Amino acid sequence: MREHRAAFFLLQIYKCHPNYFDTFVQNTIQMRKYAVLLIDDLWEEQQAFLAYAEQENIIITPFKTSKDGMNAFEEKLDIWDAVILDATVFLESEDEVASTRGMSASIRRITELSSERYVPYFVYTDQPDLLNNPLFGDMLEGKKYYNKVKDLSALLRDIKSMADMLPESQIRHKYADVFEVFSKEWIGDVGEEELLEILLSMEEKVPTINPKTYFTQLRRILESMFRAANRIGLVHDKCIRNGNVNLADCSLFLTGKPLSRVRIKCAVSHFPPTIADNVRYLLTITNEASHTSEDSAGIKTMELSEEEMNTPYLLYGLTFIVCDVLVWYRQYADKNADVAQNRSYWMDLSEEEANQWRNRPRRE
């Protein structure tokens, strides 16, 4: 069986979308968005600028103090494409007088964190005493700064130009339809950074990663998706017991197969056949690779050798399956968000029905 595993795996990927990889490239242009952090004590007066930036696919998250802005920057270092700093801003509290101390503190922190990840920063101001002051230019060590009133178009253009050179931004843009699922609206951000690391390795933008450490992360992403599916009624409450997600039960329920142990069934199959096969395969592989102990009724365990986990290619292939499942989930959940309707498909099995399913002849 093992010698056919690779051929089966590739078949599952291409069965799902023959033009899957080309689709990523097409979505790059359509869905490319930039995440920019702004520190400006008067950002509330910049609504026109924020709206203009959003029209340019630049989503700005504003803060009034350097302290709050840098905390958010450091907490999610991988998500930012750029930082905009107002030249005069609060340092730690809105009770202070805005000054260049806040900007300077932010620049120092951005510079310190550049050893972990480089993120470009841009300074703008509308203070006449700074715009025409050579000492201000010296403070920025010759770095270009922008007029807050006249140079906004140039600022946004330069942000895009610099961000497009960042490996992390390139990956997020190329796989934009995947990363958009990692929002509070959909599944949350669990596993997002790990998926980014895998894709960076796959695109040869970072050194090759150790695949053994990432199989569990793929399962965590599926777990988040199943939790989200439960919130809108696509997954039965009995598939999540005491706060713990049973991945195998969730998969079987979404496929419309009876769960004899908890005596439930879904009247419809939410999973299309290829998604069902791919999720089943993903759980089979990652269950063994992750060394997890889950009641996986209906999910066979496949023993993996050390050699099979020592190369990144199995992980890369499974990652594409996860990407495909996530994109499918968002599209399906968007069209099937009626909780009452989804829950109406939940069925209870009688003891007799459960026993019939439990005792059925099994395929080898």
Q: What is the per-residue pLDDT across 4-14, written as a single tens digit (0 to 9) for each? A: 444 444 444 44
207 and 308: one domain?
yes
Of 112, 140, 166, which marks where a domain is finished? 166
pLDDT at res. 262: 84
Q: What is the per-residue pLDDT across 126-144, written as a single tens digit (0 to 9) for each? A: 988 888 888 888 888 888 9
Residue 240 and residue 234: Cα distance in Å, rounded?
12
Give the count of alpha carbons within 13 A of 14, CB side only: 6
Q: pTM value?
A: 0.74
pLDDT at res. 259: 86
Tokens of 81: 């494409």
Of 166, 187, 209, which marks where a domain is finished? 166
pLDDT at res. 142: 80
92 and 229: one domain?
no
199 and 304: one domain?
yes
* 10-residue averages of pLDDT along the chain (364 residues): 43 47 43 88 94 94 96 92 95 93 96 93 91 83 89 95 91 91 90 92 77 87 96 96 92 91 91 95 75 43 54 89 96 96 92 65 51
pLDDT at res. 132: 80
In a domain, 27, yes or no: no
322 and 243: one domain?
yes
pLDDT at res. 36: 96
pLDDT at res. 353: 66
201 and 72: one domain?
no
Domain CATH code at residue 157 = 3.40.50.2300
57 and 135: one domain?
yes
Residue 292 and residue 153: Cα distance in Å, rounded?
52
pLDDT at res. 184: 87
9 and 108: one domain?
no
Can you give the residue range of the structural domain that contains 92? 33-166
pLDDT at res. 290: 47
Q: Contacts for 358-364 with beta carbons within 8 Å, 24 or more apart?
A: 358/260, 358/261
Number of domains in the chain: 2
Nearest of 270, 273, 208 to residue 233 by alpha carbon: 270
Of 166, 197, 221, which marks where a domain is finished? 166
